[in-house]
Chain A
Amino acid sequence: MNVTIVDYNSGNISSVINSFKEVANDKVNVEVTSDLNKIKSSDKVVLPGQGSFKSCIDALNNISGLVDILNEFAISNKKPLLGICVGLQMFADIGYEETETKGLGWVSGKVSKIDNQNGKYKLPHIGWNQINIIKDSKIFKGIENNSHMYFVHSYEFVPENKNVISATTDYSSNIVCSVEKENIFGTQFHPEKSDKTGLKIIDNFINL
């Protein structure tokens, strides 16, 4: 089996690579590439993302044909895809970081700044927070409710259809921190930095 981590100059992805390689056994081949053919023929795709919504969307668009291939992979062929952090946020129709930017439109909704309640809450939301699992998700197999995950973000994904939400976390309000829509999975937190529980989520995704 091939799992491809999309390398599209979205910032630091070495931790994502390290964690997938740690979890993958000999049967799983972890590729890190922006090669369109390799992505297309892959069994699973991981879409990481750091920096701003706009910078990540711009970086995707900078690689000619990449968005089309991802659409084909996730929407037409319905193969499993995991978005992490801004990788998840980009599923939205629109994002408001830096400037209004069109997203991939895979999961209807918007990405807006977390309400810090006039400075009561520090931003970015950095550190370990507990997740409240509200829907059975295949990537949460063996994960206990209220597990701690590592977060770093200032913007939150607000999906239109609440049925896609698989977990939330409490920071100023109930922030969406995980979604599952058919074959599309996303986490706002960083499983690659969330110690053993995070690695378990990666293992679940690999074993889908």
Chain B
Amino acid sequence: MIELEDVGYNYGGGELFSNLSVQLAPGSFHFLTGPSGAGKTTLLKLCYGSLTPTAGRVRAFNMDVKGLDRDQMAYLRRRVGVVHQDCRFLDHLPVVENIALPLTVSGRGLTEEQANLKELMNWVGLSERMDALPPELSGGERQRAALARAVILSPDVIIADEPTGNVDWEMSQRLLRLLVELNHMGKTILVATHDLPLIRAAKNQVQARVLRLTNRQIVSAGADL
């Protein structure tokens, strides 16, 4: 589904990592962990085409990401839902319109999608906050709204960057349950996190592969977690 082959990335003259190879198979669940500055966010951005590798190749849905034009890149983004740690929204639009944004930009009418939208808002527990503006949301609500926005087009892959970075344990468990639920629906999940207790908790709910990015290399982490 998404495949990184011998990927390298240079940042400001220095090499962030090199010769990384990762495969995200359909329906798989991956955690990406590693120390701060190891390049987790960069690796995620390479997966959804926000960055281009300086070496190697990134293939998404059997297409070389480097060769995609801007329109094709937009279509790729519709197949990959992304949740950022800082959860950027359009602050002048209410939460419900922010969540529906992928529908809007892909030309799908909101009227036809009202039922799905309502169901999704219920699923992430934001049905009472539909008309709130993003700055009025708490950290956990923002993360859930971002997750709802990422999945509204029912993408094949969901990539989350530190989704539990700004929330308490209870909320991180709630977010994890949502991600696991999505995985059970057949979605491919990639979560970058340094929250090891979350990874341990996830192992009881889903068969997840843990990748550790350290010393410019990626390794499969095992029982030491």
**A pairs with B:** no
